[in-house]
Amino acid sequence: ACNQVDEPTQVEEVETEVESDAGAEAPAESEELMEATFILDWVPNTNHTGIYVALEKGFFEEEGIDLTIIEPAMEGAVPIVAAGQADFGIGSQTGVTIARSTGIPVASIAAVIQEHTSGFASPIEKEITSPEDFAGKTYGGFGGAEEEAILNTVLNQYEVDPASVDNVIVGSADFFTNTKRDIDFQWIFYGWTGIEAEVRGEDINMIYLKDIDPVFNYYSPVIFSSDAVMEEQPELVESFTRAVSRGYEFAIEEPAAAAEILIAASPETSEELIRASQEWLSPRYKGDAEKWGIQSEDVWNDFTAWLLEAELIESDVSTDEVMTNRFLP
């Protein structure tokens, strides 16, 4: 199941045509370009900016990679990468760890954002400013694996009876709709939904996970690959990471230009939201880490331990199996 390189992918490529100066010297070696496929976890958004920048700026070509980006609208990137239908994917630390514990051979190779940007949000009029206020409220969940356990941990920590919080899986409706009716608070990524609230001028209360308990400051999202690719084509992974890294560096330095690249690549997405989100997110990609993408083993250790404790995984997963920094430039 590791013939992904020689098998040309049949997808209509999303490539925004490479017209940058960098592309000028590429054609000479274009025959030797390695084909690679990258699968997203959701629709293109500012978490993915670096990838699109690298593609548009020709960073991949310079690294000898002919990259195809696949946009699935639904989850499922992990098994697809594991099965060799894509070489790289983007997902969450939770996903990679649980997958690994289930025997799915994937591991994280870079953290996209250093700090965890999700948390519990609620419209300001609900007056939920601390987890203590969750009591007697209705929570709108998305059905994630770790979600209930995290919520319960938080509630226990604040001595709120978990039974007093109603947990409704809200699925496909958005935060703004849900909180119009029976839902009081929801788990959102501030960089997207929170920014949309800003754009709309709606005031929300945000309780960041990382502020509740440092163990929840895990990486989301991460870029991952499969064991097969990492073992058999380390040079591909390295080149890929290098290009991606350059992409994110660019996004960090020039948020506005990066936003435009993403908009061009996904014109169907709201431009206003992308611009605002990019501006908010760009400084957070690297944060105060020494370089983009670096992952701390402690973060992985702690969170895996917590997952084990919460019985989300049945057996311990050693950190060097699920993550590696070795491909980072």
Q: Footprint of other proteins on this chain (CB under 8 A)?
A: 1, 9-14, 39, 42-45, 69-76, 78-80, 82-83, 85, 95, 98-99, 102-104, 140, 143-145, 166-174, 176-178, 180-183, 196, 266-270, 273-274, 312
Of 114 and 225, which CB lies nearer to other proteins in the complex structure?
225
Distance in Å, CB of 165 to other proteins, minimum = 11
C-alpha–C-alpha distance, residues 133 and 278, integer Å? 31
Q: Between 114 and 266, name the residue whose CB sits nearer to other proteins.
A: 266
Radius of gyration over every alpha carbon of the chain, rounded to an integer in angstroms: 20
Q: What are phi and psi of 119, to 5 degrees?
A: 180, -175
Whether residue 102 contacts residue 127, with contact meaning beta carbons closer than 8 Å, is answered with no
CB of 265 to other proteins, least distance (A): 10
Q: Are 91 and 155 in contact (CB under 8 A)?
A: no
Supply the DSSP symbol for 48: G
CB of 102 to other proteins, least distance (A): 5
Beta-carbon count within 10 A of 174 CB = 13
Greatest CA separation for the chain: 66
Distance in Å, CB of 77 to other proteins, minimum: 9
Which residue lies nearer to other proteins by CB, 189 or 300?
189
Measured from the CB atom, the residue of 238 and 279 that comes closer to other proteins is: 279
CB of 290 to other proteins, least distance (A): 32
**Residues 304 and 313 sit within 8 Å (Cβ to Cβ):** yes
Nearer to other proteins, 20 or 177 (CB): 177
Q: How far is the CB of 303 from other proteins (least distance, A)?
A: 15
Q: Give 19 or 272: the residue with its C-beta nearer to other proteins.
A: 272
Q: Which amino acid belongs to residue 312?
A: L
* Pairing status of strand 34-39 against strand 88-91: parallel
Contact 239, 329 (CB under 8 A): no
